[in-house]
Amino acid sequence: MPPPKMFLQFLLLLLALPFCTPADTITPTRPLRDGDFLVSKGARFALGFFSLGNLNHRYVGIWYYNISKQTVVWVLNRDDPINDTSGVLSIHTRGNLVLYRRDSPLWSTNVSVSSVNSTVAQLLDTGNLVLIQNDGKRVVWQGFDYPTDTMLPYMKLGLDRRTGLNRFLTSWKSPSDPGTGEYSYKMEVSGSPQLFLQKGFDLIWRNGPWNGLRLAGVPEMNIGFLFNASFLNNEDEVSVVFGMVQPSILSRLTVDSDGLVPRYTWQESDRKWVAFWFAPGERCDNYGRRGPNGNCNLYTADDFECTCLAGFEPKSAREWSLRDGSGGCVRIQGANLCRSGEGFIKVAQVKVPDTSAARVDTTLSLEECREECLNNCNCSAYTSANVSGGGSGCLSWYGDLMDTRVFTKGGQALFLRVDAVTLAQSKRKKNIFHKKWMIGILTMGVALVTVLMVSLSWLATKKRKGKGRQHKVLFNLSLNDT
Protein backbone atom coordinates (compact mmCIF):
# COMPACT_ATOMS: atom_id res chain seq x y z
CA MET A 1 0.00 0.00 0.00
CA PRO A 2 1.42 3.42 -0.86
CA PRO A 3 2.03 5.78 2.06
CA PRO A 4 -0.99 8.05 2.62
CA LYS A 5 0.92 11.26 1.91
CA MET A 6 2.09 10.07 -1.50
CA PHE A 7 -1.34 8.72 -2.23
CA LEU A 8 -2.88 12.09 -1.43
CA GLN A 9 -0.38 13.88 -3.67
CA PHE A 10 -1.17 11.43 -6.43
CA LEU A 11 -4.91 12.04 -6.01
CA LEU A 12 -4.39 15.80 -6.07
CA LEU A 13 -2.34 15.44 -9.21
CA LEU A 14 -5.03 13.32 -10.86
CA LEU A 15 -7.66 15.88 -9.93
CA ALA A 16 -5.56 18.76 -11.15
CA LEU A 17 -4.51 17.21 -14.45
CA PRO A 18 -7.72 17.59 -16.43
CA PHE A 19 -8.08 21.25 -15.48
CA CYS A 20 -4.67 22.70 -16.01
CA THR A 21 -1.06 21.80 -16.32
CA PRO A 22 0.81 23.63 -13.56
CA ALA A 23 2.38 26.91 -14.59
CA ASP A 24 6.15 27.31 -14.93
CA THR A 25 6.19 30.99 -13.92
CA ILE A 26 5.52 33.26 -10.99
CA THR A 27 4.19 36.62 -12.16
CA PRO A 28 3.34 39.79 -10.24
CA THR A 29 -0.29 38.69 -10.28
CA ARG A 30 0.32 34.97 -9.67
CA PRO A 31 2.39 34.24 -6.56
CA LEU A 32 3.27 30.73 -5.39
CA ARG A 33 1.70 29.68 -2.10
CA ASP A 34 2.59 26.73 0.10
CA GLY A 35 0.83 23.75 -1.47
CA ASP A 36 1.14 24.99 -5.06
CA PHE A 37 4.02 24.17 -7.33
CA LEU A 38 5.57 25.14 -10.61
CA VAL A 39 6.47 22.54 -13.23
CA SER A 40 9.00 23.29 -15.95
CA LYS A 41 7.79 23.20 -19.57
CA GLY A 42 9.21 19.76 -20.39
CA ALA A 43 8.02 18.39 -17.01
CA ARG A 44 11.56 17.72 -15.80
CA PHE A 45 11.58 19.77 -12.60
CA ALA A 46 9.09 21.06 -10.05
CA LEU A 47 9.41 23.95 -7.61
CA GLY A 48 7.39 24.27 -4.45
CA PHE A 49 7.32 24.06 -0.67
CA PHE A 50 8.45 20.86 1.03
CA SER A 51 9.49 19.53 4.39
CA LEU A 52 11.62 16.55 5.34
CA GLY A 53 12.11 15.05 8.81
CA ASN A 54 10.63 17.98 10.68
CA LEU A 55 7.18 18.87 9.36
CA ASN A 56 7.41 22.30 11.02
CA HIS A 57 10.28 23.20 8.74
CA ARG A 58 9.01 24.28 5.33
CA TYR A 59 11.49 24.96 2.57
CA VAL A 60 11.18 26.26 -0.98
CA GLY A 61 13.02 23.91 -3.29
CA ILE A 62 13.37 22.30 -6.69
CA TRP A 63 13.12 18.55 -7.30
CA TYR A 64 12.79 16.20 -10.27
CA TYR A 65 9.14 16.17 -11.31
CA ASN A 66 8.70 12.78 -12.93
CA ILE A 67 10.70 10.32 -10.86
CA SER A 68 9.22 8.31 -8.04
CA LYS A 69 11.78 9.29 -5.40
CA GLN A 70 11.56 12.94 -4.40
CA THR A 71 15.09 14.26 -4.91
CA VAL A 72 15.66 17.87 -3.95
CA VAL A 73 18.39 19.55 -5.98
CA TRP A 74 18.13 23.17 -4.84
CA VAL A 75 16.85 24.91 -1.71
CA LEU A 76 16.12 28.60 -1.46
CA ASN A 77 15.86 29.05 2.33
CA ARG A 78 18.07 26.22 3.55
CA ASP A 79 18.97 27.96 6.79
CA ASP A 80 15.66 29.76 7.33
CA PRO A 81 12.85 27.21 7.31
CA ILE A 82 9.30 28.48 7.75
CA ASN A 83 7.55 26.92 10.73
CA ASP A 84 4.04 26.93 9.23
CA THR A 85 2.34 26.96 5.85
CA SER A 86 2.16 30.73 5.53
CA GLY A 87 5.02 30.92 3.02
CA VAL A 88 4.47 32.78 -0.26
CA LEU A 89 6.97 33.30 -3.07
CA SER A 90 6.07 36.32 -5.17
CA ILE A 91 7.30 39.13 -7.36
CA HIS A 92 7.51 42.22 -5.25
CA THR A 93 6.37 45.63 -6.48
CA ARG A 94 10.03 46.56 -7.06
CA GLY A 95 10.51 43.56 -9.33
CA ASN A 96 12.45 41.36 -6.94
CA LEU A 97 11.57 37.78 -6.07
CA VAL A 98 10.60 37.71 -2.41
CA LEU A 99 9.78 34.88 0.01
CA TYR A 100 7.25 35.99 2.63
CA ARG A 101 6.46 34.33 5.93
CA ARG A 102 3.26 35.58 7.48
CA ASP A 103 3.41 38.63 5.21
CA SER A 104 6.89 39.66 6.26
CA PRO A 105 9.82 39.16 3.90
CA LEU A 106 12.18 36.33 4.87
CA TRP A 107 14.39 36.35 1.78
CA SER A 108 14.72 38.45 -1.35
CA THR A 109 16.76 38.81 -4.50
CA ASN A 110 18.56 42.11 -4.70
CA VAL A 111 18.45 43.33 -8.26
CA SER A 112 17.55 46.73 -9.58
CA VAL A 113 14.68 46.39 -11.95
CA SER A 114 13.66 49.12 -14.34
CA SER A 115 10.10 48.22 -15.23
CA VAL A 116 8.29 46.57 -12.38
CA ASN A 117 5.26 44.84 -13.84
CA SER A 118 7.06 42.98 -16.58
CA THR A 119 9.19 40.72 -14.38
CA VAL A 120 8.55 36.98 -14.10
CA ALA A 121 10.30 34.11 -12.35
CA GLN A 122 10.44 30.98 -14.50
CA LEU A 123 11.46 27.42 -13.72
CA LEU A 124 13.46 26.06 -16.67
CA ASP A 125 13.86 22.46 -17.79
CA THR A 126 17.48 22.53 -16.64
CA GLY A 127 16.31 23.01 -13.04
CA ASN A 128 17.30 26.66 -13.04
CA LEU A 129 14.95 29.25 -11.55
CA VAL A 130 15.47 32.51 -13.42
CA LEU A 131 14.17 36.02 -12.83
CA ILE A 132 13.52 37.61 -16.21
CA GLN A 133 12.79 41.16 -17.17
CA ASN A 134 10.41 40.80 -20.02
CA ASP A 135 11.47 43.99 -21.70
CA GLY A 136 14.63 42.67 -23.29
CA LYS A 137 14.27 39.12 -21.93
CA ARG A 138 17.19 39.78 -19.64
CA VAL A 139 17.97 37.28 -16.89
CA VAL A 140 18.66 39.46 -13.86
CA TRP A 141 19.01 36.66 -11.29
CA GLN A 142 19.29 32.87 -11.43
CA GLY A 143 19.18 30.04 -8.91
CA PHE A 144 22.14 28.34 -10.62
CA ASP A 145 24.32 31.16 -9.26
CA TYR A 146 23.48 30.03 -5.72
CA PRO A 147 23.87 26.24 -5.74
CA THR A 148 22.96 24.15 -2.73
CA ASP A 149 24.61 20.70 -2.65
CA THR A 150 23.89 19.61 -6.23
CA MET A 151 25.56 20.37 -9.53
CA LEU A 152 23.10 19.79 -12.36
CA PRO A 153 24.07 19.54 -16.03
CA TYR A 154 24.61 23.01 -17.53
CA MET A 155 25.20 24.54 -14.10
CA LYS A 156 28.50 26.37 -13.74
CA LEU A 157 30.76 26.05 -10.74
CA GLY A 158 33.48 28.63 -10.35
CA LEU A 159 34.28 32.29 -10.22
CA ASP A 160 32.70 35.10 -12.21
CA ARG A 161 35.63 37.50 -12.29
CA ARG A 162 33.43 40.47 -13.26
CA THR A 163 31.11 40.25 -10.25
CA GLY A 164 33.36 38.33 -7.83
CA LEU A 165 30.68 35.67 -7.37
CA ASN A 166 32.14 32.20 -6.70
CA ARG A 167 29.56 29.45 -7.15
CA PHE A 168 30.26 26.35 -5.10
CA LEU A 169 28.45 23.42 -3.50
CA THR A 170 27.88 23.00 0.21
CA SER A 171 26.62 19.80 1.79
CA TRP A 172 23.38 19.54 3.73
CA LYS A 173 23.67 19.21 7.52
CA SER A 174 22.15 15.71 7.29
CA PRO A 175 19.95 13.80 4.83
CA SER A 176 16.90 15.28 6.58
CA ASP A 177 18.23 18.80 7.12
CA PRO A 178 19.16 20.91 4.07
CA GLY A 179 20.82 23.55 6.27
CA THR A 180 24.38 24.58 5.36
CA GLY A 181 26.66 21.69 6.33
CA GLU A 182 30.41 21.54 6.83
CA TYR A 183 31.61 20.17 3.49
CA SER A 184 32.09 22.32 0.43
CA TYR A 185 33.25 21.73 -3.10
CA LYS A 186 34.79 24.88 -4.43
CA MET A 187 36.95 26.32 -7.19
CA GLU A 188 40.26 27.78 -6.03
CA VAL A 189 41.53 30.03 -8.78
CA SER A 190 45.12 30.66 -7.72
CA GLY A 191 47.87 29.08 -9.83
CA SER A 192 46.18 26.66 -12.18
CA PRO A 193 42.56 26.52 -10.93
CA GLN A 194 41.37 23.35 -9.16
CA LEU A 195 38.23 22.23 -7.35
CA PHE A 196 38.68 21.28 -3.70
CA LEU A 197 36.51 19.27 -1.36
CA GLN A 198 36.89 20.90 2.03
CA LYS A 199 35.63 20.31 5.55
CA GLY A 200 35.58 23.82 6.93
CA PHE A 201 39.03 25.04 5.94
CA ASP A 202 40.62 21.57 5.86
CA LEU A 203 41.43 20.27 2.41
CA ILE A 204 40.04 16.76 1.93
CA TRP A 205 40.36 16.06 -1.77
CA ARG A 206 41.60 17.90 -4.82
CA ASN A 207 40.39 17.06 -8.27
CA GLY A 208 43.31 18.69 -9.97
CA PRO A 209 43.66 21.28 -12.71
CA TRP A 210 42.04 21.02 -16.11
CA ASN A 211 44.62 19.39 -18.40
CA GLY A 212 42.86 19.96 -21.70
CA LEU A 213 41.07 16.62 -21.59
CA ARG A 214 39.72 16.28 -18.09
CA LEU A 215 40.25 17.28 -14.48
CA ALA A 216 43.69 15.80 -13.80
CA GLY A 217 42.64 14.15 -10.54
CA VAL A 218 39.72 12.26 -12.07
CA PRO A 219 41.16 9.80 -14.63
CA GLU A 220 37.83 7.94 -14.53
CA MET A 221 36.16 11.03 -15.97
CA ASN A 222 34.98 9.22 -19.05
CA ILE A 223 34.05 12.24 -21.08
CA GLY A 224 32.14 11.57 -24.25
CA PHE A 225 30.05 8.64 -23.12
CA LEU A 226 27.66 9.99 -20.52
CA PHE A 227 28.59 13.63 -20.36
CA ASN A 228 30.94 16.20 -21.81
CA ALA A 229 32.59 18.98 -19.92
CA SER A 230 34.08 22.33 -20.66
CA PHE A 231 36.42 24.41 -18.61
CA LEU A 232 36.80 28.15 -19.06
CA ASN A 233 39.63 30.27 -17.72
CA ASN A 234 39.66 33.77 -19.17
CA GLU A 235 39.39 37.38 -18.04
CA ASP A 236 35.65 36.98 -17.38
CA GLU A 237 35.51 33.71 -15.49
CA VAL A 238 37.00 30.45 -14.26
CA SER A 239 34.34 27.81 -14.49
CA VAL A 240 33.57 24.19 -15.19
CA VAL A 241 30.29 22.96 -16.66
CA PHE A 242 29.03 19.50 -17.55
CA GLY A 243 26.63 18.74 -20.38
CA MET A 244 24.80 15.50 -21.06
CA VAL A 245 25.61 13.54 -24.21
CA GLN A 246 22.34 11.68 -23.77
CA PRO A 247 19.92 14.30 -22.45
CA SER A 248 17.34 11.69 -21.48
CA ILE A 249 19.63 10.40 -18.71
CA LEU A 250 19.20 12.15 -15.38
CA SER A 251 22.54 12.77 -13.71
CA ARG A 252 23.69 14.93 -10.83
CA LEU A 253 26.84 15.55 -8.82
CA THR A 254 26.45 16.26 -5.11
CA VAL A 255 28.52 16.81 -2.02
CA ASP A 256 26.85 14.86 0.76
CA SER A 257 26.79 15.29 4.53
CA ASP A 258 29.32 12.44 4.94
CA GLY A 259 31.88 14.34 2.89
CA LEU A 260 31.63 12.35 -0.32
CA VAL A 261 31.25 13.70 -3.84
CA PRO A 262 29.20 11.14 -5.79
CA ARG A 263 27.86 11.43 -9.31
CA TYR A 264 24.50 9.70 -9.59
CA THR A 265 22.43 8.59 -12.52
CA TRP A 266 18.77 7.64 -12.26
CA GLN A 267 17.88 4.02 -13.05
CA GLU A 268 14.19 4.02 -13.91
CA SER A 269 14.00 0.21 -13.98
CA ASP A 270 15.16 -0.05 -10.36
CA ARG A 271 13.72 3.32 -9.34
CA LYS A 272 16.88 4.41 -7.63
CA TRP A 273 19.92 6.62 -7.95
CA VAL A 274 23.05 4.69 -8.75
CA ALA A 275 26.48 6.10 -7.90
CA PHE A 276 28.25 6.24 -11.25
CA TRP A 277 31.42 7.43 -9.56
CA PHE A 278 32.45 8.99 -6.27
CA ALA A 279 35.40 10.58 -4.49
CA PRO A 280 37.32 10.48 -2.25
CA GLY A 281 37.48 6.70 -2.51
CA GLU A 282 41.05 5.44 -2.16
CA ARG A 283 43.60 6.15 0.55
CA CYS A 284 45.60 8.15 -2.00
CA ASP A 285 42.70 10.56 -2.53
CA ASN A 286 43.17 11.99 0.94
CA TYR A 287 44.94 15.34 0.65
CA GLY A 288 46.37 15.57 4.15
CA ARG A 289 47.48 11.97 4.53
CA ARG A 290 51.01 12.60 3.40
CA GLY A 291 52.98 15.76 3.68
CA PRO A 292 55.14 17.68 1.21
CA ASN A 293 57.11 15.84 -1.50
CA GLY A 294 55.48 12.50 -0.87
CA ASN A 295 54.09 10.33 -3.61
CA CYS A 296 51.12 8.16 -2.80
CA ASN A 297 51.32 4.73 -4.36
CA LEU A 298 48.76 2.03 -3.56
CA TYR A 299 50.91 -0.63 -5.15
CA THR A 300 54.01 -0.63 -2.96
CA ALA A 301 55.52 -3.89 -1.77
CA ASP A 302 55.01 -3.23 1.95
CA ASP A 303 51.39 -2.08 1.72
CA PHE A 304 52.20 1.41 3.05
CA GLU A 305 51.10 3.84 0.38
CA CYS A 306 53.38 6.74 1.31
CA THR A 307 56.61 6.99 -0.64
CA CYS A 308 58.94 9.90 -1.24
CA LEU A 309 59.51 11.45 -4.64
CA ALA A 310 62.94 10.72 -6.14
CA GLY A 311 65.66 12.74 -4.44
CA PHE A 312 63.69 13.00 -1.19
CA GLU A 313 63.69 10.98 2.04
CA PRO A 314 61.21 10.77 4.93
CA LYS A 315 61.45 13.78 7.22
CA SER A 316 61.04 11.51 10.22
CA ALA A 317 62.18 7.93 9.72
CA ARG A 318 60.48 6.98 12.99
CA GLU A 319 57.05 8.30 12.00
CA TRP A 320 57.51 6.68 8.63
CA SER A 321 58.23 3.30 10.21
CA LEU A 322 54.98 3.72 12.18
CA ARG A 323 53.23 4.31 8.86
CA ASP A 324 52.54 7.97 9.43
CA GLY A 325 53.43 9.80 6.25
CA SER A 326 51.93 13.15 7.23
CA GLY A 327 55.33 14.70 8.02
CA GLY A 328 56.28 14.35 4.37
CA CYS A 329 59.69 14.19 2.79
CA VAL A 330 62.75 16.43 2.62
CA ARG A 331 65.63 16.64 0.14
CA ILE A 332 68.31 14.03 0.66
CA GLN A 333 71.05 15.81 2.60
CA GLY A 334 73.74 17.54 0.62
CA ALA A 335 71.76 17.50 -2.61
CA ASN A 336 72.79 20.42 -4.78
CA LEU A 337 70.13 21.47 -7.21
CA CYS A 338 71.64 24.63 -8.59
CA ARG A 339 73.96 24.61 -11.58
CA SER A 340 75.82 21.49 -10.57
CA GLY A 341 74.75 18.84 -13.00
CA GLU A 342 71.15 18.52 -11.83
CA GLY A 343 68.47 17.35 -14.20
CA PHE A 344 65.01 15.86 -14.42
CA ILE A 345 63.56 12.44 -13.76
CA LYS A 346 60.31 11.47 -15.41
CA VAL A 347 57.70 10.24 -12.96
CA ALA A 348 55.05 8.47 -15.00
CA GLN A 349 51.27 8.29 -14.53
CA VAL A 350 50.80 10.73 -11.67
CA LYS A 351 48.15 13.12 -10.46
CA VAL A 352 50.17 16.31 -10.76
CA PRO A 353 51.02 18.09 -7.48
CA ASP A 354 48.77 20.80 -6.06
CA THR A 355 48.82 23.64 -8.58
CA SER A 356 47.66 26.38 -6.17
CA ALA A 357 51.10 27.99 -6.38
CA ALA A 358 52.19 26.65 -9.75
CA ARG A 359 52.94 28.84 -12.76
CA VAL A 360 51.15 28.43 -16.06
CA ASP A 361 52.46 29.57 -19.42
CA THR A 362 50.35 28.31 -22.30
CA THR A 363 52.74 29.71 -24.94
CA LEU A 364 55.71 27.44 -24.16
CA SER A 365 56.47 24.00 -25.55
CA LEU A 366 57.55 21.18 -23.26
CA GLU A 367 61.19 21.67 -24.29
CA GLU A 368 61.02 25.41 -23.55
CA CYS A 369 59.32 24.56 -20.28
CA ARG A 370 62.27 22.33 -19.35
CA GLU A 371 64.74 25.13 -20.18
CA GLU A 372 62.83 27.62 -18.08
CA CYS A 373 62.62 25.23 -15.14
CA LEU A 374 66.29 24.28 -15.38
CA ASN A 375 67.33 27.94 -15.40
CA ASN A 376 65.46 28.76 -12.20
CA CYS A 377 67.10 26.99 -9.27
CA ASN A 378 63.84 27.21 -7.30
CA CYS A 379 61.90 25.27 -9.90
CA SER A 380 61.18 21.78 -8.56
CA ALA A 381 59.14 20.21 -11.36
CA TYR A 382 57.40 20.86 -14.65
CA THR A 383 54.99 19.25 -17.08
CA SER A 384 52.65 20.06 -19.97
CA ALA A 385 49.75 22.31 -19.07
CA ASN A 386 47.60 20.73 -21.77
CA VAL A 387 48.03 17.03 -22.52
CA SER A 388 45.57 17.01 -25.40
CA GLY A 389 47.08 16.74 -28.89
CA GLY A 390 50.55 15.58 -27.82
CA GLY A 391 51.03 18.17 -25.07
CA SER A 392 51.54 21.92 -24.98
CA GLY A 393 52.00 24.71 -22.49
CA CYS A 394 54.06 24.80 -19.33
CA LEU A 395 53.07 24.09 -15.76
CA SER A 396 55.90 24.55 -13.27
CA TRP A 397 56.29 24.29 -9.51
CA TYR A 398 58.54 26.24 -7.14
CA GLY A 399 59.13 24.77 -3.72
CA ASP A 400 57.37 21.83 -2.07
CA LEU A 401 55.21 19.44 -4.07
CA MET A 402 51.92 18.59 -2.37
CA ASP A 403 49.46 15.75 -2.93
CA THR A 404 51.19 13.84 -5.71
CA ARG A 405 49.95 10.32 -6.34
CA VAL A 406 50.33 7.49 -8.82
CA PHE A 407 47.43 6.33 -10.98
CA THR A 408 47.18 2.94 -12.67
CA LYS A 409 45.95 4.67 -15.79
CA GLY A 410 45.14 8.14 -17.01
CA GLY A 411 47.89 9.93 -15.13
CA GLN A 412 50.37 12.41 -16.53
CA ALA A 413 54.18 12.44 -16.66
CA LEU A 414 55.85 14.79 -14.19
CA PHE A 415 59.43 15.95 -14.71
CA LEU A 416 61.05 16.19 -11.32
CA ARG A 417 64.22 18.17 -10.60
CA VAL A 418 66.90 16.05 -8.95
CA ASP A 419 70.57 16.56 -8.11
CA ALA A 420 73.39 15.03 -10.15
CA VAL A 421 73.83 12.07 -7.78
CA THR A 422 70.18 11.03 -7.89
CA LEU A 423 70.16 11.56 -11.63
CA ALA A 424 73.18 9.27 -12.08
CA GLN A 425 71.62 6.64 -9.80
CA SER A 426 68.42 6.71 -11.78
CA LYS A 427 70.37 6.36 -15.03
CA ARG A 428 72.34 3.45 -13.59
CA LYS A 429 69.09 1.83 -12.46
CA LYS A 430 67.74 2.30 -15.94
CA ASN A 431 70.90 0.76 -17.38
CA ILE A 432 70.72 -2.14 -14.98
CA PHE A 433 67.13 -2.51 -15.98
CA HIS A 434 68.18 -2.52 -19.63
CA LYS A 435 71.00 -4.96 -18.90
CA LYS A 436 68.57 -7.24 -17.12
CA TRP A 437 66.38 -7.15 -20.16
CA MET A 438 69.31 -7.86 -22.44
CA ILE A 439 70.46 -10.77 -20.27
CA GLY A 440 66.91 -12.04 -20.18
CA ILE A 441 66.58 -11.91 -23.93
CA LEU A 442 69.99 -13.53 -24.43
CA THR A 443 69.20 -16.35 -22.00
CA MET A 444 65.90 -16.97 -23.67
CA GLY A 445 67.58 -16.97 -27.07
CA VAL A 446 70.17 -19.51 -25.95
CA ALA A 447 67.48 -21.64 -24.36
CA LEU A 448 65.39 -21.52 -27.53
CA VAL A 449 68.31 -22.49 -29.74
CA THR A 450 69.21 -25.36 -27.38
CA VAL A 451 65.65 -26.64 -27.34
CA LEU A 452 65.51 -26.38 -31.11
CA MET A 453 68.75 -28.26 -31.59
CA VAL A 454 67.81 -30.97 -29.11
CA SER A 455 64.45 -31.54 -30.75
CA LEU A 456 66.02 -31.57 -34.20
CA SER A 457 68.59 -34.19 -33.25
CA TRP A 458 65.89 -36.21 -31.50
CA LEU A 459 63.76 -36.10 -34.64
CA ALA A 460 66.76 -37.13 -36.71
CA THR A 461 67.48 -40.11 -34.47
CA LYS A 462 63.82 -41.07 -34.51
CA LYS A 463 63.81 -40.94 -38.30
CA ARG A 464 66.92 -43.07 -38.52
CA LYS A 465 65.47 -45.60 -36.08
CA GLY A 466 62.21 -45.59 -38.06
CA LYS A 467 64.11 -46.34 -41.21
CA GLY A 468 65.92 -49.17 -39.44
CA ARG A 469 62.62 -50.69 -38.39
CA GLN A 470 61.35 -50.43 -41.94
CA HIS A 471 64.40 -52.27 -43.15
CA LYS A 472 63.77 -54.95 -40.60
CA VAL A 473 60.16 -55.33 -41.67
CA LEU A 474 61.17 -55.49 -45.25
CA PHE A 475 63.76 -58.03 -44.33
CA ASN A 476 61.20 -60.08 -42.40
CA LEU A 477 58.80 -59.86 -45.28
CA SER A 478 61.40 -61.00 -47.71
CA LEU A 479 62.26 -63.81 -45.37
CA ASN A 480 58.63 -64.87 -45.28
CA ASP A 481 58.40 -64.65 -49.01
CA THR A 482 61.14 -67.09 -49.44
Ligand X SMILES: *[C@@H]1O[C@H](CO)[C@@H](O)[C@H](O)[C@H]1NC(C)=O
- Residues binding ligand X (CB under 6 A): 42-44, 66-67, 83, 110, 117-118, 212, 228-230, 241-243, 248, 268, 362, 376, 378, 386, 388-389, 392
User: Least distance to ligand X from the beta carbon of 451, Å?
Assistant: 50
Give the SS3 label for residue 9. helix
Q: Is the dihedral of CA 13, 14, 15, 18 positive or negative?
A: positive
Task: Report how far residue 37's alpha carbon sits from residue 23's, in angstroms, rounded to the nearest whole number.
Answer: 8
The residue among 306 and 373 lying less far from ligand X, judged by its C-beta, is 373
Peptide bond into 247 cis (omega under 30): no
Would you give the end-to-end CA distance of the chain in angstroms? 103
**Which lies closer to ligand X via its Cβ, residue 54 or residue 362?**
362
Residues in the chain: 482
Question: Starting at the edge strand that comes first in sequence, how are the strands of the sheet with 237-244 ordered?
Answer: 165-167, 156-160, 237-244, 227-233
Q: Identify which of residues 180 and 376 has a Cβ nearer to ligand X in the complex.
A: 376
Q: Using DSSP bridges, classify how beta strands 272-279 and 329-331 pair: parallel, antiparallel or unpaired.
A: unpaired
The residue among 50 and 141 lying less far from ligand X, judged by its C-beta, is 141
Which of 313, 296, 320, 265 is CA-nearest to residue 403? 296
Which residue, 349 or 392, has its beta carbon nearer to ligand X?
392
Question: Residue with the closest Cβ to ligand X?
Answer: 243
| Distance of closest approach, residue 16 Cβ to ligand X, in angstroms | 18
Kindly state the smallest distance separating residue 164's Cβ from ligand X, in Å. Answer: 12
Please say which residue, 44 or 289, places its beta carbon nearer to ligand X.
44
Q: How far, rounded to the nearest angstrom, does the alpha carbon of residue 188 sit from its chain's CA centroid?
A: 14
- Shortest separation between residue 62's beta carbon and ligand X, angstroms: 15
C-alpha span between 194 and 26 (Å, rounded) = 37
349, 407 Cβ separation under 8 angstroms: yes
Least Å distance between CB 443 and ligand X?
Answer: 45
- Whichever of 80 and 182 has its CB closer to ligand X, that residue is 80
**Minimum gap (Å) between residue 117 Cβ and ligand X:** 4
Query: Please, what is the minimum distance in Å from the beta carbon of residue 230 to ligand X?
Result: 4
